[in-house]
Structure 1
Amino acid sequence: MLSVHLLTLIALVTSAKAAISPFTSRPRLQTTFSGLSDVEPFSLRLSPDTAKVCNSTTPGTSGFITADDGQGGNNSIFFWAFESKHDAKTDPVILWMSGGPGASSVGYGNLMELGPCRIASEGGYTVDNEFGWNVNATILFVDQPVGVGYSRGQRIPTGLRDSSLAMLRFLRQFMTAFPELADRDFYIAGESYGGSWVPALASTILRSESRSSGQRGALMVQEDGPNLSPNSRRGPKINLKGIMIGNGLVRRSVQNIGFFETVCSGPASLFNSSQCLEWAPRAMWCEDNLAVCEVDGMKSSACKDAESKCSAISKVVVEDMHLNPYDFRRECHDPDSCYSEMRHIDEYLNRSDVKMALGVPENEPFVGISLDVFKQWEEVGDLWRASDEYVNHLLQSGIRVLIYVGDKDLYCNAAGMRLLVDRGLSWHGQPIIRLRELVPWYLGTKSAGLWKSYEPLTYAEVAGAGHLVPFDKPEEALTLINSWIHGRLPAL
């Protein structure tokens, strides 16, 4: 059970009044925190009744953390955490980050993929998800950056580095409010643009923790009143152990090579032989030239020209063949509406009664995908910028990395992921993992995919899954991440 820490400095009678249960019946309870040298003062406001929104035995704890954004304004970040069903006192914590950039983790990651409740196929209510990732871990979903989901602020971060620092500030505040989670093994997981979100944040945490020194101590808390004076005590440590990247874009110049193999290989290839012969020269050109983006920069005219030429194969699949780019087995005439669940989630989280239960102001819309965030990332050149340097840093530092991929995805395809793992990273174990062969892993007696591993890096493919692995193959996804966290994969 998540609980908010109160310093014994406050009289016992006051502390008894202020202690917060995750399922508190006190609506809009506001608690103010201050007093640590490395955690900015913030306030916490919990949701009145998550059980009305999430149909699960663990409906979780949600709310807003509001603080100065460091730029003269305030951020109000919405989160939803679900305690582990197994051992809430010792199991690890997993932060999930949906892609985009600008997609809601609380909405889509939670209610469509790996939360303990899912939106019903017809919409309007949620159903229990027996394969939610909180079976053996506490799962944290955060709408980030501001402008996404229910989170609001006066300034959108200027790019990946800025947003990673903002998330580090949030996590320190969250761990301060829920200190029993601070000493747990901490993992960060995400998909799609999570190939940038996840390693960038993990690398930011790693560098921050290595710079931290001195005694970490308790925090002074006061409810509905002025902050207490800051002191020299430090906030809780984030005990980073590993990251999980699912169908993630990490290094486009390498992964793009996999598009041709995806559409032209195998007996069930998407292109016929004449199409493959037609597109082969373009594929070779991209293999030779797309790296210009890493040399000249993402905003250069040479990069933009290469990006346009090298996205042409996917346009044929999406616009001419009308296939779902996230699962090329399915027909889809509008990539923005390939999944009805996303529309159902938008409608559900914009309902007045749902907002009331979650403590969201009636006039604040739920923003499933923020085009403002997407455009901001595009403007600063962070939309396609390579994030392999973060992954390399983590691997060289001994942080465990799981890269997994559904083999029916077009955009972040398995062929490109294999190339990334074998040739797109640079760390001391790269020559070894390149030589290792992929071998099957199983769910019971059924083959569930392929995998290989060396030291901190593990690569796994999930058979029959598209871009959204926990959505397409929930049991396999849960089995995979639980086995990896505990240092083993399902039976070989």
Structure 2
Amino acid sequence: MPNSKWVFAVLIIILITQLKSSNCSNGFSAYSNEQQQLDKVLQLPGQEFNVSFAHYSGFVTVNEEAGRALFYWFFEAAEDPASKPLVLWLNGGPGCSSIAYGVAEEVGPFHVEKDGKNLYLNPYSWNQVANMLFLDSPVGVGYSYSNTSSDHLNNGDIRTAADSLAFLLKWFDRFPEYKGRDFYITGESYAGHYVPQLSQAIVRHNFATKDKTINFKGFMVGNALFDDLHDHLGLFQFMWSSGLISDQTFKKLNFFCDFQSFIRPTAACDKILDIADKEIGDIDHYSVFTPACTANFNQFLRRRNKVGNLRRPYDPCTELHSTVYFNLPEVQKALHVYNGNNSSNWETCSDDVYNGWTDSPRSVLDVYHELLHAGIRIWVFSGDTDAVLPVTSTRYSIDALKLPTVGPWHPWYCDGQVGGWTQQYEGLNFVTVRGAGHEVPLHRPKESLTLFKSFISGTSLPKLEQISDS
């Protein structure tokens, strides 16, 4: 595999050249402002409530020659957006949609009801704190597309970072009022690659061009893929210590899989992983102590919803509801999904993108080492009931960075209860979220909002004190 530093340097040079030669004149800027208004979402199907904030969705072409266009959905902050930072959210996979997960079941203001046709407001939406931008990346994910069909089957880390940087620079032209605004990146899972790699591309772009458009301040990732060796080590230990697998399988996993690629294991490793899967049984690996989405449980949720419970029960089937909603023609029309390339079924995750992934480095620890010297804020969080990229994996990977600790390990609180634990390192803050699975905001929405507020403000998480509902 080529040296990542050299490749990123070449990509930055190419991108700068393309931007200089593009029509970035005042006429282009006027067109972009007009396009911003065309992107404004007026009303969504199933939205039986009013909101105080504006939101926009549409496409930004990141490569004219190939016809690659990325889909975004942007929500202004609920109050005083002009004073709030801008935050980009990315989901992983590779191949999973930030609209499906980030918006529709985690940190977005609109979540999808069980009928797949109606929406409800998320009281813990992150747009209470910041202007939130969600991006479906790379092409082939969600509504994002390319006119070059082979692009969907030849994605990878390097091009994803380059296209995402190109997207941001063009998006800021469309929304010039956000140029120079404090900017952060957040995400989870395989975005453990996307987020630091895009952060690296931004830092290098800003250094090379002295451009102040992207006023990058830092990033935060959750239950993130860091380093294949340490992620495997922590995963197998978590499964064994949680009583999910046998002693024999635990030993075989460590023997056959310890140095394997996390997304491209060998046949021998795959065979042992299949055995582990059978031993674990029919549970949700992403949240081991909550119900899995089975046909029976989905029917139970529908019956329970009809009798009018005031408190929403945990719903493990949110992905099914989103699949129905975002395939509705009237929803796609409202979100400005007009392009003929998007006529195929919308999916939460694309198997084509995942199976065609061309480059995935075994580790991003080298990227962290570079960014730790860039003076940006870096937070890492982990739900502690995830058996896909568990808290043990994250702790092993952070330990491999060999950072000095600058604060004691201690609990943090939400509503007078322990929300998790935290450790401050030199240049990095690590936070666990108690009782949360892979999608922390789905399982612990109020705690995740508390975490997000602390990250954005750069302040310590609450100690023994109450957090109000407001």
Pairwise TM-score range, normalised by the shorter structure: 0.7 to 0.9
Q: Which residue of 2 aligns with 1:95?
A: 88
Distance 1:124 1:333, change over 3 A: closer
Q: Give yes or no for contact 1:262–1:415 (8 Å, CA) kept in 2.
A: yes
Instruction: Report the residue type matching 1:52 in the other structure.
Output: L
Q: Which residue of 2 aligns with 1:454?
A: 425
Cα deviation for residue 312 of structure 1 reads: 5.1
The secondary structure found in structure 2 opposite 1:404 is strand
Query: Which one has the largest radius of gyration?
Result: 1
Instruction: Report the residue type matching 1:322 in the other structure.
Output: D
Q: Which residue of 1 aligns with 2:126?
A: 133
Q: Give yes or no for contact 1:449–1:460 (8 Å, CA) kept in 2.
A: yes
Structure 2 residue corresponding to 1:366, chosen from 341, 346, 350: 346
Aligned residues: 411
Indicate whether 1:248 and 2:224 are aligned: yes
Q: Which residue of 1 aligns with 2:101?
A: 108
Distance 1:315 1:56, change over 3 A: farther
Of 482-491 and 345-354, deviating more is 482-491
Q: Which residue of 2 aligns with 1:330?
A: 290
Distance 1:484 1:282, change over 3 A: same
Q: Which residue of 1 aligns with 2:404?
A: 432
Q: Give yes or no for contact 2:285–2:387 (8 Å, CA) kept in 1.
A: yes
Q: Give yes or no for contact 1:34–1:40 (8 Å, CA) kept in 2.
A: no
| CA distance in structure 1 between the partners assigned to 2:321 and 2:293 by the alignment | 18
Q: Which residue of 2 aligns with 1:195?
A: 192
Instruction: Report the residue type matching 1:432 in the other structure.
Output: P
Q: Which residue of 1 aligns with 2:12?
A: none
Q: Note the residue ranges of structure 1 that are not aligned, 5 or more in a row.
A: 1-32, 217-235
The 5-angstrom pairing of residues 205-244 of structure 1 reads 205-213=202-210, 237-244=213-220
Instruction: Report the residue type matching 1:485 in the other structure.
Output: I
Residues 234-262 of structure 1 deviation map (CA, whole Å, 9 limit, x = unaligned): xx621111111111111121021122332
Instruction: Report the residue type matching 2:198 in the other structure.
Output: L
Cα deviation for residue 315 of structure 1 reads: 2.1
Cα deviation for residue 293 of structure 1 reads: 5.3
Q: Give yes or no for contact 2:419–2:433 (8 Å, CA) kept in 1.
A: yes
Runs of 4+ in 1 over 6 A off after TM superposition: 39-43
Indicate whether 1:79 and 2:79 are aligned: no
The secondary structure found in structure 2 opposite 1:237 is coil
Distance 1:212 1:132, change over 3 A: same
Cα deviation for residue 87 of structure 1 reads: 2.7
Instruction: Report the residue type matching 1:340 in the other structure.
Output: C
Instruction: Report the residue type matching 1:407 in the other structure.
Output: D
Q: Give yes or no for contact 2:59–2:144 (8 Å, CA) kept in 1.
A: no
Structure 2 residue corresponding to 1:356, chosen from 329, 333, 345: 333
Q: Which residue of 1 aligns with 2:259?
A: 291
Indicate whether 1:270 and 2:247 are aligned: no
Q: Give yes or no for contact 2:62–2:70 (8 Å, CA) kept in 1.
A: no
Q: Give yes or no for contact 2:90–2:188 (8 Å, CA) kept in 1.
A: yes
Q: Give the structure-2-normalised TM-score.
A: 0.79
| CA distance in structure 2 between the partners assigned to 1:176 and 1:410 by the alignment | 41
| CA distance in structure 1 between the partners assigned to 2:90 and 2:31 by the alignment | 22
Indicate whether 1:61 and 2:55 are aligned: yes
Structure 1 residue corresponding to 2:438, chosen from 467, 472, 475: 467
Q: Give yes or no for contact 1:250–1:387 (8 Å, CA) kept in 2.
A: yes
Cα deviation for residue 36 of structure 1 reads: 5.5
Instruction: Report the residue type matching 2:112 in the other structure.
Output: I
The 5-angstrom pairing of residues 168-183 of structure 1 reads 168-183=165-180
Residues 95-126 of structure 1 deviation map (CA, whole Å, 9 limit, x = unaligned): 00011111111232101110011112343111
Distance 1:168 1:242, change over 3 A: same
Distance 1:42 1:108, change over 3 A: farther
Q: Which residue of 1 aligns with 2:24?
A: 35
Q: Give yes or no for contact 1:58–1:83 (8 Å, CA) kept in 2.
A: no
| CA distance in structure 2 between the partners assigned to 1:480 and 1:317 by the alignment | 34
The secondary structure found in structure 2 opposite 1:99 is coil
Indicate whether 1:281 and 2:251 are aligned: yes
| CA distance in structure 2 between the partners assigned to 1:281 and 1:88 by the alignment | 53
Residues 191-248 of structure 1 deviation map (CA, whole Å, 9 limit, x = unaligned): 11111111111111111111003xx6xxxxxxxxxxxxxxxxxxx6211111111111
Cα deviation for residue 313 of structure 1 reads: 6.7
> By percentage of residues, which structure has more helix?
2
Q: Which residue of 1 aligns with 2:14?
A: none
| CA distance in structure 1 between the partners assigned to 2:370 and 2:25 by the alignment | 29
Q: Give yes or no for contact 1:407–1:463 (8 Å, CA) kept in 2.
A: yes
Structure 2 residue corresponding to 1:479, chosen from 444, 450, 462: 450
Percent identity of the aligned residues?
Answer: 29
Q: Give yes or no for contact 1:103–1:368 (8 Å, CA) kept in 2.
A: yes
Distance 1:66 1:488, change over 3 A: closer
| CA distance in structure 1 between the partners assigned to 2:416 and 2:274 by the alignment | 40
| CA distance in structure 1 between the partners assigned to 2:228 and 2:174 by the alignment | 38
Q: Give yes or no for contact 1:56–1:127 (8 Å, CA) kept in 2.
A: no
Cα deviation for residue 444 of structure 1 reads: 2.8
Q: Give yes or no for contact 1:41–1:67 (8 Å, CA) kept in 2.
A: no
Distance 1:418 1:306, change over 3 A: farther
Structure 2 residue corresponding to 1:163, chosen from 157, 160, 163: 160
Q: Which residue of 1 aligns with 2:44?
A: 52
| CA distance in structure 2 between the partners assigned to 1:258 and 1:111 by the alignment | 30
Distance 1:394 1:42, change over 3 A: farther
Q: Give yes or no for contact 2:196–2:219 (8 Å, CA) kept in 1.
A: yes
Distance 1:270 1:65, change over 3 A: closer
Of 85-94 and 338-347, deviating more is 338-347
Q: Give yes or no for contact 1:327–1:465 (8 Å, CA) kept in 2.
A: yes
Distance 1:139 1:313, change over 3 A: farther
The 5-angstrom pairing of residues 375-390 of structure 1 reads 375-377=355-357, 380-382=358-360, 385-390=362-367
**TM-align CA RMSD:** 3.0
The secondary structure found in structure 1 opposite 2:229 is helix
Q: Note the residue ranges of structure 2 that are not aligned, 5 or more in a row.
A: 1-21, 299-314, 464-470
Q: Give yes or no for contact 1:95–1:188 (8 Å, CA) kept in 2.
A: yes
Distance 1:349 1:458, change over 3 A: same
Q: Give the structure-1-normalised TM-score.
A: 0.76
